[in-house]
Amino acid sequence: MKFLWDNLMNFKKPKFWDYKKPNFFAYLLFPITLLLTLNNLLLKIYPKKKFNEIKTICVGNIYLGGTGKTPTTLKLFELLKGLNLNIATAKKNYSYQQDEEILLKKKSNLIISKKRSDIIAKAIKKGIDLVIFDDGLQEKKVDYDVKFVCFDCKSWIGNGFLIPSGPLREKIKSLMKYDGVFLKSSIKDFNSSEISSKIKNINPEIEIFNSYVLIKNINKFDLSNKFIIFSGIGNAYSFKETLVNNNFNITKEIVFPDHHEYKLEEISKILNFAKKEKAEILTTEKDYVKIPENLKDKINYIEIDLEIEEKDKLINLIKTKINETY
């Protein structure tokens, strides 16, 4: 089961996952979905451990990939710096998720290990007061103090089925056990009222925070130029949508599987195509860290920032949940 799950975390998302209703392929895969669901139910028998020596936050998802966990984790790290606490971010070490590790290490105080319980032990030893986990809501051994779920407003819950029939790691009713939700959009004024209403119907007590993507280095680019874009992220359309909303002229989009490790020949093909089209090449910061060093000067990336609305409300929620006095 673990092998199957780990491989599901590193593949190109099937289109039928985001259909509004399940189709033939969703039902065809349903027996596997039932087996995975049974496996998860059996694992829930084991009690989770609460760590009293340290406070923990988890930023995760129930929709597999592309919901903005890493940008949200980094934003929380930035926002909570003013609380006079020694804060670290945390990431379970996966061999195929080095891109996220590199970004977190570059922009925060990152602790990694193959087990999340070991991360907490390391953090306690280092004198960390608060650790923010990027991913891990489905962790079977750790009981976090604050639990956030990230959604992309456009994909929401897809066809509503569990993996592999659909994109969900848990049923939507699992929102009952979480403290807050981040609804990410590529535009500022996205109307999330319909999604918010559905969430509140499941858990009236849960707090909802809207967020949207900003391009920090947009002044670096000449928007009159043509752009070829490529990415290997959970939701490639969110990358393209962000660029389109900021008036980038995109002539071609190339999509790779999430966490894709780029080969020299793949990048060379993109470079040759861009030369013929007289276009600039653009990718995500997460993808850029995996580009061969000798080719990085030929490729640009956008640096994004996540703007979270109602920041004071968010910080107060976290203060309340971790029972700290500042």
pLDDT of residue 4: 47
pLDDT value of residue 312 = 96
pLDDT at 5 over 60: no
The predicted model gives 60-65 an average pLDDT of 94
The per-residue pLDDT of the chain, averaged, comes to: 92
CATH number for the domain formed by residue range(s) 218-302: 3.40.50.2300
State mean pLDDT over 283-287. 96
Asked whether the predicted pLDDT for residue 207 surpasses 90, the reply is yes
Identify the pLDDT of residue 3. Answer: 44
User: How high is the pLDDT of residue 203?
Assistant: 98
3-state secondary structure the chain: CHHHHHHHCCCCCCHHHHCCCCCHHHHHCHHHHHHHHHHHHHHCCCCCECCCCCEEEEEECCECCCCCHHHHHHHHHHHHHHHCCCEEEEEECCCCCHHHHHHHHHHCCEEEECCHHHHHHHHHHCCCCEEEEECCCCCCCECCCEEEEEEECCCCCCCCCECCCCCECCCHHHHHHCCEEEEEECCCCCCCHHHHHHHHHHCCCCEEEEEEEEECCHHHCCCCCEEEEEECCCCHHHHHHHHHHCCCEEEEEEECCCCCCCCHHHHHHHHHHHHHHCCEEEEEHHHHCCCCHHHHHHCEEECEEEEECCHHHHHHHHHHHHCCCC
Which pLDDT score, from 0 to 100, does residue 6 have? 47
For residues 326 and 276, the model is more confident at 276
Architecture of domain 55-214+306-322: 3-Layer(aba) Sandwich (3.40)
Question: Residue 11 — very low, low, confident or very high, per pLDDT cuts 50/70/90?
Answer: low
Residue 326 has pLDDT above 80, yes or no: no
Q: Where in the chain is the domain with CATH 3.40.50.2300?
A: 218-302
Summarize pLDDT for 115-154 with one digit per residue, the tens.
999 999 999 999 999 999 999 999 988 999 999 999 999 9
Q: Residue 97: pLDDT band by 50, 70, 90 thresholds?
A: confident
Q: Does the pLDDT of residue 176 top 50, yes or no?
A: yes
Instruction: State mean pLDDT over 249-277.
Output: 95
Q: What share of the chain in percent tops pLDDT 90? A: 80
Say if residue 1's pLDDT is above 50.
no
pLDDT at 324: 53
Give ranges for CATH 3.40.50.300 in the chain: 55-214+306-322
